[in-house]
Amino acid sequence: MKKYVLIFLVLATASFSFAQRKGGAKPQPAQPSTQPTSAPSPTSSATPEVKGIRVVVTGQIFKAPAESVQLSSIVGNGQYVDYGSFTFDPKGNGTFTIGAVVPVADFYVLRAGNNHINLIITNSDTIKVFGDGRDLLRNINIIGNEDSQRLLEFLRMQNDMSLLRDSIQIELNKNPMSQNELNQLYMSRYKQFEYFRDRFVQQFPNSPALIGPMQTYDPEKEFDKYSALAEKVIAAVPNGQVAQQLRQSVAMYRQRAAASQLLAPGSLAPELEGPSPDGTTYKLSSLRGKVVLIDFWASWCGPCRKENPGVVALYEKYKDKGFTVFSVSLDADKNAWMRAIESDKLIWPYHISELKRWDGMLSRSYGVNSIPFTVLIDADGKVIEKNLRGPLLEQKLQQIFGF
């Protein structure tokens, strides 16, 4: 659930693709105290000076999913810093008011248990939130904070696309013969989403809500678009934790973008050579004359295993027309690797692994930092495109083979 690189913004949305990242979770800043902190109350007629942004969040959440609601920031690993809290009246109707002081303009969440409402706080406001706690994505309205409402509307549209993609994948696993029809449906809806996204960016060119469109771009394939929006978000909330993380992210992906020229379209794919489970040595260069999908994966990679049925279907469709798959496993356990090949019915012969997880030279030679990672090469061994999966891979193979 692209996914992708949105560090602190958490909501019930899914990315268009998901990946197992090298080294696990992204590094997080030092963990501040997670003890709830309420806005200070004056004890005399003189009001002490308070650094930060005073904000009031008030409204009504019907059937709230928790006994209380907090205004918080997310610091990673399931940890929060709370700036204000309100306990609902068990006999009440879900009304609440939180007065708080947040440190800087940034992204925050109004949370009830594990349910989040994203709030972009940039100045002292009274923000009104009304909704149904049974679905805080669909049935919520934010008044007095346009950026937060804009982000909510974008995330709703993104969530629709994620749900559609997941449902198509489930149906495709049940009925591979429906792949063409399902891909056409997905691509049609995705084009509508792209139009909505582009208009959103044009309409709100300086809004921190651009973090929504930003996270839909793959920073490794669409770095220019990703970084342009990231810079706008940074400019809107320059002193917040999100800006800090985005600066690090942009720098990291800029470095990767430079390294990715190694696999630029038209370049010769580096040689890959290694042993199969039965000890046979396979070389990528021995497959000249075939269109080859180089697929970096592992038995322990859930997103990889989820993609495998679609890859098998494409192999069956095009194997007699000059298409094959060259699988490079990042496993360390040979038995687990072999079981996954058998279980997922990966029937092509070209499976190799150094059994060194991320420490192998094969993945390093391709700059692999997350899996699944794919490179499609032509009959001359030259790169066509990388990281094609699902409907996009199917579409590219249709263009190549004409059906």
- Per-residue pLDDT tens over the stretch 184-234: 999 999 999 999 999 999 999 999 999 999 999 999 889 999 999 999 999
The verdict on 293 and 227 lying in the same domain is: no
The verdict on 280 and 391 lying in the same domain is: yes
Q: What is the biggest distance separating any 2 CA atoms in the chain, rounded to whole angstroms?
A: 85
pLDDT tens profile 250-276: 988 887 777 667 888 999 999 999 999
* Interatomic CA distance for residues 265 and 269, integer angstroms: 9
pLDDT tens profile 51-100: 899 999 999 999 988 999 999 999 877 889 999 999 999 888 999 999 99
The verdict on 194 and 218 lying in the same domain is: yes
Residue 134 half-sphere exposure, CB side, CA atoms within 13 Å? Answer: 2
* Interatomic CA distance for residues 237 and 244, integer angstroms: 10
pLDDT over 70 percentage in the chain: 87
For residue 98, how far is the Cα from the chain centroid?
Answer: 31
* Interatomic CA distance for residues 363 and 21, integer angstroms: 13
Q: Which of 57, 17, 310, 38 is nearest to 165 (CA)?
A: 17
pLDDT in the model for residue 259: 66
Boundary-marking domain end, from 233, 261, 289: 261
pLDDT at 41 over 60: no
Boundary-marking domain end, from 81, 112, 142: 142
Reduced to 3 states, what is the DSSP secondary structure of residue 43?
A: coil
Q: Cis peptide leading into 309, omega within 30 of 0?
A: no
Residue 257 lies in a domain: yes
The position carrying tokens 């879900």 is 94
The verdict on 73 and 131 lying in the same domain is: yes
Chain mean pLDDT for the chain: 86
pLDDT in the model for residue 114: 84
Mean pLDDT along residues 24-49: 36
pLDDT in the model for residue 50: 56
pLDDT at 176 over 90: no
pLDDT band at 35 (very low <50, low <70, confident <90, very high): very low
Boundary-marking domain end, from 202, 228, 261: 261
pLDDT at 3 over 70: no
The position carrying tokens 């509508």 is 192
The verdict on 231 and 298 lying in the same domain is: no
* Interatomic CA distance for residues 395 and 305, integer angstroms: 21
Mean pLDDT along residues 304-325: 96
pLDDT in the model for residue 15: 30
Domain of residue 120 covers: 31-40+51-142
